[in-house]
Chain A
């Protein structure tokens, strides 16, 4: 016993350097020192390097004339400032991201449901689609559309006519551009009003069904209200919308709207690629809904489409939303692949800015701030949506 006691007193566990609190503080202090020292060392080196290259740091360059132009959705010229060019790139990124998200969601939902179809052929096509696109780099998909498909289209002289005033060639898709007349805002207001009325009808129909059990054709009524009201105002204001039709000249097409091959290949490729991931998310979400739910819904007399729409999908959404949010984030981040086909997104514009100015740190900081900000916004929006549809435990 005495020996054991002696051992107990001088146990190595009692030494001050084995005290968990002391250790924890020591580890954290070391980490802080290491991080601060590294950052300070980097900063010091950077300052020296920048001074040697004669580059002044700071965001003053944003106000200077850029001297280059890229085709963007905003009106940029070679007289625009660097700041405006970056803003245009940011706008382009957002446009591509939204379009790709829409395409990927719709396509992904269809393919995901098709993968669970009882029809062997439909199921197989969907499986092949998913397994093919999931396992190749998105960059190949983008380049395939750009170099393999769109670049091999005929040139403008022999453009494929998709319809009156719509043509497809290796310069992109040309279509009429709407020109809004002075009274067009009245039509917009009418449209908004009809939406509000439709929403009110939906609420009233819901309340009535809850109270009396009587149904009401909400969808058709709403469509009717929207079409009649907006269309009526459109005609009453005297044709406030005209179209600028693309005119074919000898070597080019002037006027109208052009969807450039760079833009088209980027959003089609990202949509098609990401749809394969969304399809898998949708499939696993639907499979997470217990089969008893489907059987119960069928026993109530609902047919296939209604079972899916009213019973299965609302429950599957709870499982689908969180991974879907990260897939939307992935699309947004993947829009940066635009630099490979020369579409002027934020990264491509930034790349053009940092070469002549040498302001690489500032440009990278702008990129990081933008993408991180966007990530935070999308995840906040998705969390809000997730909280709204989450299961209310009783």
Chain B
């Protein structure tokens, strides 16, 4: 201070009060939000207008078709045939039972409902990380539930009338095929992944050959193989159930993709984990079961769920073998002259798309949730 005073009159004292500065721009509320997110600049405004035009051009006709102009009620095709401007939901209502159960006999459909409930009871606790008894739950999902369901759905025991697989169909068959595909492809994929990383050259070659061939060809050709070539490969007279053939083809195909996902997880485990396990004196299988696989599989849960989504979508191809899952049943009902109208195919496909979408979107949200959870766990 003394220093400043000694330098003379450089000091400055404000005499009048400054005018208040304008308040800062509001950052909360509708208008500021729109300014930041929609009309930030001229280019942004043009983009917004173009986007709004595109969205309206799609949403308005789609809503008119699917909701406002749609035929909601009706017992016959006449109501739909008269209305060509909107969806024919009456067709979906009339065939709803078939879309869910296929040609499963009416009085036995409660068995399918029990199957749906059991499926939910097995899957939901398995998907919730904090649910207890994970080990038992996994056992139930891989062994108990499939066995119980097989007896329940096929029948022929305990006074349940037998229902052959040829009449299975609809969403129910989609779930059966995808569930078995998932339950088979996971263990098979683990074995293939371990084989591919094995130090034994022949085991490695066999696994690489299988994985790369399956991944290199379309699923349709694999299903053609399962449908047409498998009977040729087996002794004369041995005849496989169609469903079993589809399950075999689909599971092996999905296992190849699963193997690559799990291999990614195995590669992400640091070498120290292997060495640590070995130095404890664990053998190969004990080491894999207790140390490596639990870590590797946890890392790649999102990838596994993504493979499951792919598998779920791929079930729509089993029509190649002559099975009618959801999409097959819907397509089959287009040929029904009772409901043949110009809007029937679009409505049926829209319905099938929504059902598939709900399942796949649910799985993908779960996969993203797991990814976030694992990331926070590893961030520490």
> CA A49 – CA B239 in complex, angstroms?
13
Q: Knowing A35-B206, A139-B316, A336-B220 touch, does A120 contact B38 (C-beta < 8 A)?
A: yes
When distances are taken between beta carbons in the complex, the residues of chain A under 8 Å from B168 are: none
Complex contact A364–B225 (CB within 8 A): yes
Q: Which of B48, B54, B225, B353 has the most CB of A within 10 A?
A: B353
A299 CB → nearest B CB, Å: 19
In the assembled complex, B221 has its CB within 8 A of some CB on chain A: yes
Complex contact B220–A347 (CB within 8 A): yes
When distances are taken between beta carbons in the complex, the residues of chain A under 8 Å from B327 are: 137, 139-140, 143
In the assembled complex, A367 has its CB within 8 A of some CB on chain B: yes
When distances are taken between beta carbons in the complex, the residues of chain B under 8 Å from A137 are: 313-314, 316, 327, 356
> CA A140 – CA B320 in complex, angstroms?
15
Complex contact A144–B346 (CB within 8 A): yes
Complex contact A118–B44 (CB within 8 A): yes
When distances are taken between beta carbons in the complex, the residues of chain A under 8 Å from B316 are: 137, 139-140
Complex contact B353–A136 (CB within 8 A): yes
> CA A375 – CA B256 in complex, angstroms?
15
In the assembled complex, A42 has its CB within 8 A of some CB on chain B: yes
> CA A95 – CA B226 in complex, angstroms?
28
Complex contact A354–B356 (CB within 8 A): no
> CA A109 – CA B41 in complex, angstroms?
23
Q: Knowing A143-B331, A144-B353, A147-B334 touch, does A336 contact B218 (C-beta < 8 A)?
A: yes
In the assembled complex, A28 has its CB within 8 A of some CB on chain B: yes
When distances are taken between beta carbons in the complex, the residues of chain B under 8 Å from A337 are: 220, 317
Q: Interface size on B (CB < 8 Å)?
A: 57
> CA A351 – CA B225 in complex, angstroms?
12
When distances are taken between beta carbons in the complex, the residues of chain B under 8 Å from A340 are: 319
Q: Which of A127-135, A287-295, A386-394 makes up part of the contact surface?
A: A127-135
When distances are taken between beta carbons in the complex, the residues of chain B under 8 Å from A91 are: none
B123 CB → nearest A CB, Å: 18
Complex contact A121–B349 (CB within 8 A): no
> CA A367 – CA B213 in complex, angstroms?
12
Complex contact B233–A32 (CB within 8 A): no
Chain A residues within CB distance 8 Å of chain B: 24, 27-28, 31-32, 35, 42, 45-46, 48-50, 52, 117-122, 125, 131-132, 134-140, 143-144, 147-149, 151-152, 329, 333-337, 339-340, 347, 351, 354, 360-361, 364, 367-368, 371-372, 375-376
A-B contact pairs, 15 of them (CB 8 A): A49-B231, A49-B232, A118-B44, A119-B37, A122-B47, A134-B364, A139-B316, A140-B353, A143-B345, A147-B345, A148-B350, A151-B345, A337-B317, A347-B218, A367-B217
Q: 18 additional contacts, CB 8 Å, given A137-B327, A336-B220, A364-B229?
A: A27-B203, A32-B202, A48-B235, A50-B232, A118-B40, A119-B40, A122-B48, A125-B54, A132-B357, A136-B360, A140-B349, A147-B349, A148-B346, A149-B346, A337-B220, A361-B229, A375-B216, A376-B216
